[in-house]
Structure 1
Amino acid sequence: MSSAQPEDGLPVRRVITADSFRALKFKLSGARPAAAPADPVSLPQPPAPQVLPQERPVLAVPVEPPAEPETVAHEPPAPLDVPEEEPPAELIVENAVAAMPEAAEPAEAEPPAEAARPEPAPEPVPETAPVVAPEPPRVEAQSSVPNAGTTAASSPSAGFIERRVVERPQPEDPEAGKRAHALLDIMAMPTVGSLPQERALANDTLLRLIPRMPLKSLRHLAERVCVMESPSQLLVRRLINDSRIEVSGPLLEQAMTVDDSDLIAVAASNNPAKLKLMARRRIISPALSEALIRSNHVETLLNLLRNPGAAFSIESMWRLTRIAAGHPVLQAPLVTRHDTPSPIAFQLFWQLPSELRRYVLSRFLTDSETISKILTMNAESDGAPRKHADHSLLSELEVTAPGEAGAIYAELAHVGRETGDRIAEDQGGEALTVALKAAGLTRAQFGAIADKRADAEALKAIFDTLSFNKARVLLTYWDWAARRTGPYARIAAA
């Protein structure tokens, strides 16, 4: 309410209606309301202002009213037709003005009920609930790594936080081994005589005992897990990742129940002792073989090539061929494997010693009528039909410079210049023997050339065992590799 001092000095109280409250609101907000008549009672009802989302709700908190003159303070207030539990209207207006900041727009409050008048009451104004903007959620990133800091949490682009749990060291308990074996007995019970909850609780309890078990007990535990039909994968994973080779070694070499994914993860750690043990497993899948080859550990690759239970993909074989070219210790195990393809042996031929070269010629080459037809079709597809070699070129070999001998061998054997140069640069006589056999030389003609070498008798023996088709098959693969054509060109050059 507000009061005024007329001429007689007595205060007159004026009731603030909903219309006058809206006018006061427009006045405080700086808006210009429409022109109103002198009598506020006959003022037409203005449209309700739209409540914006940024308006703040106003709480009618009772505050101390401003002090009035002494003459007003001692007078009893005039009775109003409002409920006693509702605060006076002037308190609501004063509180709303006092609670709002200077720059903020005052929020609309619920108008009080008007006093009883003979005039018709104005239409009720629908109450509008204040709209409060939702507070943005707080994102808290925690890291379980000790002393990890809040770098990942403070980054706005951090979408994934890796959590690593480091097991606390515990004092060794000599009796933990006995309890572990008792728990393992419960886990090994058949499913008919035990409940899954019992086996799960025994497994979790055993995992808690492992950090407290002595090394001897852990080694016995690992050996027993190796012979179990279906051990717990959590237990197996815990044992194979143990840094002590006495614990992880038996499972890595002997246990057939370990998943390849777990073994590949261990191979990625590049531990030489664990790699050698995994290469000795009775059965090795192509995926695990590829992971072991990727380590480039020579002793591991040697164990892997000597393992008859290891399986390889063709890409892994080509990678082994490139590694074996620089490590002679791997050449014999690779060439003598039962599953080595002939293109692998032909590609490795240039790096092999004489003994292994003769082994390749005797094992990977054969002769048949079908091979003769295939060679004919291959020559026709290249647009170079088979023709007899010009043996008169042999006389030019003695007067030709070493750099030009490759062109003569290429013309004699009907191969590319790259293959001819490789035959001319080869220090062993096996490649020369193959080229002259494919050129159609007789034994007497070949003997005249081979007698100038120290290993003439060995080369003559190779010449006698070779046939024309065998020599052409080997030259065909050499020519494909030199020209980077054929189905294996991309893999061999990778």
Structure 2
Amino acid sequence: MITADSFRALKLKLAGTSGKPAEPLIARPADPPVAAAPVEPPPLEPAESDTAPIVEPVPEVLRLDKPVPAEPAQPRTSAPMAPEQPPAAMPVKSSDPGFVERRVLERPQPEDAEAGIRAHALLDIMAIPTEGSLPQERALANDTLLRLIPRMPLKSLRHLADRVCLMEAPSQMLVRRLINDPRIEVSGPLLEQAVTVDDSDLITVAQGRNPAKLKLIARRRLISPALAEALIQSNDVETLVNLVRNQGASFSIESMWHLTRFAAAHPVLQAPLVTRQDTPSPIAFQLFWRLPSELRRYVLSRFLTDSETITRILTMNRENDGKDRKQADLSLLAKLAQADSREAGEIYARLTHVSAEAGARIADDAGGEALTVALKAAGLTRAQFADVVEKRPDAEALKAIFETLSFNKARVLLTYWDWAARRTGPYARIAAN
């Protein structure tokens, strides 16, 4: 119920009159009902242009049948807050998705014929032994020389690169500047001949995939396994040929497997890889299937041997696999002449006690070397082998291979072939990648 006092207080508040503060509207308990006439609000003063009184509608917020919303709290006057500090910057790595590398390029400068003369004089200062010069002198000479390089003629830069190749301890900043020069006349001598270039700098150059620079790096006198891996990742055939022919290059076993896959697709790599002194026998045995007859016979003669220790190891390998060594069923030989490829694979697998996959690969091989190895491991005599291959055009060559092979040599090669077909053994994970 709206009283006159409450209505007057509201009017003063709306008009902005600074009078006695109005009491908050609080619902009071109802008095006992008394019969009385309803109290009407007092008449409002008429406006100047109106003669009839105007009754303003009661605002919706004053209806007592609805809750009265609380007035918004006035902001308190306090000291200004300090601006929020940004979080500390986190280090950005080159592998982050949002990483953007910014390089500062040198401004092009006009060529100066005298810059080459001054550069060689500065190089003389840098070449003075440490006992005869101060570190500050060598540092200033190095920085001055680096500043002169953009103004040096090509001929002077070539002479400078040749001199740096002969220095025992050149400035790494100078070496890095020269090997990254896009002109092969400048960077080439250092990439191929300088022994003081860090592997990290050479790997960075190799990742640029410049064919001319890759071939020069592959001809270095010594190549570490890490640098060899970077060169292999370039997938450049000419670079890989230079690398495999380089006897001063060192390879990890993973790199050797990568080269094996490349050699399967590019025959030009096969002979250099098989004839390397450090090529492991498993690599040669895996590559055997892709080699021509001449290289196959080279593999059989170089990577296979026979001894009592070999016999013991083969016996332990059979016991580890749970296989009982039995005599081959030579009656199956009569079926080889009429058997198709699938049946021939099954016959070879039963004769040599290997997996069906290895037997199928022997049967599908177009050359006769794999057939010769399998029949030697099956225990055939010279006469029995001659009966099997007598109709082949290369029968005489295969008979010669059969004579040089021993049972243990044939079993060693079959063991590696079987491991590869089963994808088991120490090289299964590497070979599958």
- What is the TM-score with the length of structure 2 in the denominator? 0.80
Q: CA deviation at 1:134?
A: 1.6
Larger Rg: 1
1:407 corresponds to? 346
Distance 1:365 1:160, change over 3 A: closer
Match of 1:351 among 286, 290, 299: 290
Residues 1:251 and 2:190 aligned together: yes
Q: How does 1:239-318 map to 2 (within 5 A)?
A: 239-318=178-257
Q: Which runs of 5 or more structure 2 residues have no equivalent in the other structure?
A: 1-17, 24-72
After superposition, the C-alpha distances for 1:141-192 in whole angstroms (9 at most, x for unaligned) are 9xxxxxxxxxx9xxxx998653310111000000000000000011111111
The SS at the match of 2:130 is coil
Match of 2:380 among 441, 454, 476: 441
**Given residue 165 of structure 2, which amino acid in structure 1 is its aligned partner?**
C
Residues 1:223 and 2:171 aligned together: no
The SS at the match of 2:132 is coil
Distance in 2 between the 1:31 and 1:330 partners?
102
Contact 1:376 1:385 in 2 (8 A): no
More helix as a share of residues: 2
Distance in 1 between the 2:76 and 2:334 partners?
113
Distance 1:174 1:31, change over 3 A: farther
Distance 1:451 1:160, change over 3 A: closer
**Given residue 134 of structure 1, which amino acid in structure 2 is its aligned partner?**
A
Contact 1:418 1:482 in 2 (8 A): yes
Q: How does 1:56-455 map to 2 (within 5 A)?
A: 105=75, 107=77, 131-136=79-84, 162-455=101-394
Match of 1:463 among 393, 402, 406: 402
2:424 corresponds to? 485
Aligned sequence identity (%) = 77
Distance in 1 between the 2:342 and 2:311 partners?
33
**Given residue 122 of structure 2, which amino acid in structure 1 is its aligned partner?**
L
Contact 2:161 2:189 in 1 (8 A): yes
1:62 corresponds to? none
- What is the TM-score with the length of structure 1 in the denominator? 0.70
Q: CA deviation at 1:136?
A: 4.0
Distance in 1 between the 2:234 and 2:204 partners?
12
**Given residue 188 of structure 1, which amino acid in structure 2 is its aligned partner?**
A
Distance 1:136 1:338, change over 3 A: same
Q: How many residues align?
A: 359
The SS at the match of 1:470 is helix
1:110 corresponds to? none
Distance in 2 between the 1:138 and 1:205 partners?
41
After superposition, the C-alpha distances for 1:310-366 in whole angstroms (9 at most, x for unaligned) are 000000000000110000000000000000000000000000000000000000000
The CA RMSD measured in Å over matched residues stands at 2.2
Distance in 2 between the 1:160 and 1:398 partners?
66
Distance in 2 between the 1:137 and 1:389 partners?
84
**Given residue 441 of structure 1, which amino acid in structure 2 is its aligned partner?**
L
Distance 1:132 1:355, change over 3 A: same
Q: CA deviation at 1:106?
A: 7.1
Distance 1:138 1:431, change over 3 A: closer
Contact 1:283 1:310 in 2 (8 A): yes
The SS at the match of 1:133 is coil
Distance 1:403 1:31, change over 3 A: farther
Q: CA deviation at 1:214?
A: 0.2
**Given residue 421 of structure 2, which amino acid in structure 1 is its aligned partner?**
A
Distance in 2 between the 1:295 and 1:164 partners?
24
